[in-house]
Amino acid sequence: MLKKIVSNADEAIKDIQDGAVIMLGGFGLCGIPENSITALVKKGVKNLTCISNNAGVDDFGIGLMLKTRQVKKMISSYVGENAEFERQLLSGELEVELIPQGTLATRCMATGYGMPAIFTPAGVGTEVAIGKETRDFEGKMYLLEHAFKSDFAIVKAWKGDAHGNLIFRATSRNFNPLMAMAGKITIAEVEELYEAGELNPDEIHTPGIYVNRIFKGSDYEKRIEQVTTRLKA
């Protein structure tokens, strides 16, 4: 069995170089690989292409790398909470590819399954379809979308073990498992790290075969993107 446990985020991301294409898990601000992003900021790698459901906020998540001008291109489906992202987009400093959320998820899944492309009705007849192949299936038009090609996938799980098996919690399960499947090299940071065999096999969401490196993270902020409260009647 390959040794997958590394000591910390710095060691986990040590071979990520300028110009890398990185998938980053998370849904909104839930399940973001906070320690790994901090390590990337510290390392100072530049010209990154980031594939993520979101772009974080100004001082959290991918927003930290946007602030330090480390991101060349963002491939995302939801970017509405980041003022610095908006500024860089409008000024032409940042290349952006907006993708329907279901298409983003399915392209990740296709990569993990070894499929080169998918056909989806999402985006047909819109700017998303410009320059792309369309095809008629039983009278309905579909758009050809290619699977992603990434150098690394960085995910955050609730629990993991020495073999790289992962368990995600609640909303963080939306994109993290899909991206864990899709990385050429997958790095997982976890809140709780166990010995092999200590996790219940029936509770595993991502088998360890997809994970190359794993470490126990710390000091998770777990930011809430939009706080909504309601007074009881």
Q: For residues 232 and 6, what is the distance between their CA atoms, to the nearest angstrom? A: 47
Give the CATH number of domain 9-116+147-216. 3.40.1080.10
How much is the pLDDT for 233? 65
**Residues 6 or more apart whose Cβ sits within 8 Å of residue 78:** 28, 53, 54, 55, 101
pTM confidence score: 0.91
Least confident piece of the model among 142-146, 155-159, 223-227? 223-227
Q: For residues 139 and 65, what is the distance between their CA atoms, to the nearest angstrom? A: 45
Beta strands in the chain (DSSP E): 21-24, 48-51, 71-76, 95-98, 117-120, 134-137, 140-146, 152-161, 166-167, 185-194, 213-216
Comparing CA positions, the residue from 186, 164, 201, 54 lying closest to residue 112 is 186
- Residue, of 202 and 229, whose pLDDT is higher: 202
- CB 213, CB 185: distance < 8 Å: yes
pLDDT for 121-141, tens place per residue?
999 999 889 999 999 999 999
- CB 141, CB 134: distance < 8 Å: yes
How much is the pLDDT for 1? 58
Domain limits, the chain: 9-116+147-216
